[in-house]
Amino acid sequence: MEILSNQDNDIKKAAKAIIAGALVAFPTETVYGLGADAFNPIAIARVFEAKNRPSFNPLIIHIAEFDTLPRIADISGLSEAGKEMFGLLSKQLWPGPLTLILPKQAQLPGIAAAGLDTVAVRFPSHPVAQKLIRFSTGALAAPSANPSGCLSPTRANHVSAQMGNKVDFIIDGGKTLVGLESTVLDISRETPCILRPGGISRETIEALIGTVLLENSSMAVGNEDKPSPISPGQLKSHYAPRTLLILHKPGELAGLPQAANEGRLYFSTATRHSALSLQAPAPQNQVRILSQDGCSIEAAANLFEMLHELDSLGLELIRAEEAPALGLGEAINDRLRRAAT
């Protein structure tokens, strides 16, 4: 890990690293974020791993130009009222500490939105954050730069103390101004709803778009890592395969012949081979392997796309196996369990 200054040459150095897949902690006006290229699923999986998150809570995609938005979100998927709200809110409150939940653009990797068909987008006002985004890939997936369950960092040394060996660079931009996370507002649903109170007040939002709902205030702490009403809420809105999904313990699939109208999601080549030896080979396109050599970061990066692919085949059943409970394995299993219910 290297600490960088907030001067342009250092920001450019960090930006170059992001393009190559690195993780960079950077200041925003709310708290320090842990950024990765929003279009690099492996880098995003490393963000989850660095935070040691037990589940895939969707990340906020940070942009620094309105022109980038179409690569992230599909505004045409909003209702007419939603489009109008988006126009008002983005014009008046971006850049700033407001995160909007919007329909996800299909090309954005599934792990960036944790498998949801909506995506959280924010346009930070901090000049260092804006430069880092512009100098790199135009869109950074970034949660707060703290380990799961710990306080959000408002200074570079909070990040180095908590995440030191997990990040490649930390850009020191001094103390963050707002010190509180962004307000998360969902305008993809019929009635707009504040999912997390934060840096922009409800009054400010309501002055622009009228009454908004407030999701159960016991989640007002805004800690994305603690179980809170936001999680059950997301659980429901989480993409669930239409196809019946049955989850098996590691190794259980090995002795089970694959039926003709059945899809398989194996963790690794090793676990798949032990299965193949016992059965007639199934059609190749009905089998997915999360990571050939059993790397949980690669497996996490592939998880949502592979679930979507298998689900699109119109099969009767998908059998998936749990990942070893190491590294991101726990988060992968959490997601698979939700997909199986």
Of these partners, Mg ion, ligand AMP, none, which one is at the site of residue 120 (CB under 5 to 8 Å by kind)?
Answer: ligand AMP
Of these partners, ligand AMP, Mg ion, none, which one is at the site of residue 168 (CB under 5 to 8 Å by kind)?
Answer: none
Q: Whole-number minimum distance, CB 120 to Mg ion, in Å?
A: 12
Q: Spell out where the chain has E strands.
A: 2-4, 24-26, 33-37, 60-63, 98-103, 118-122, 139-142, 169-171, 183-186, 193-196, 213-214, 244-248, 262-268, 287-291, 317-321
Among the listed residues 143, 199, 241, 327, the single contact to ligand AMP using CB under 6 A: 143
Among the listed residues 119, 163, 247, 310, the single contact to ligand AMP using CB under 6 A: 119
Q: Whole-number minimum distance, CB 296 to Mg ion, in Å?
A: 22
Among the listed residues 6, 90, 118, 125, the single contact to ligand AMP using CB under 6 A: 118
Query: 73 CB contacts (<8 Å, ≥6 apart)?
Result: 102, 103, 104, 105, 119, 121
Q: Does 73 bind ligand AMP (CB under 6 A)?
A: no
Which residues in the 215-234 window bind Mg ion by CB under 5 A?
A: 224
Q: Does 110 bind ligand AMP (CB under 6 A)?
A: no
| Span interacting with ligand AMP, options 55-63, 75-83, 279-287, 297-305, rule CB under 6 A | 55-63
Q: Which helix (H) or strand (E) holds 209?
A: helix 202-209
If 0-12 CB within 10 Å is exposed, 13-18 middle and 19+ buried, where does residue 42 land?
Answer: middle
Q: From CA 336, how far away is CA 251, in angstroms rounded?
A: 16
Of these partners, ligand AMP, Mg ion, none, which one is at the site of residue 156 (CB under 5 to 8 Å by kind)?
Answer: none
A 10 A CB-CB count for 175 gives 10
Q: From CA 165, how far away is CA 46, in angstroms rounded?
A: 13
- CB-wise, 10 or 181, nearer to ligand AMP? 181
Residue ranges that bind ligand AMP, judged by CB under 6 A: 57-60, 101, 113, 116, 118-120, 143-144, 181, 184, 195-196, 224, 230, 234
List contacts with Mg ion (CB under 5 A): 144, 224
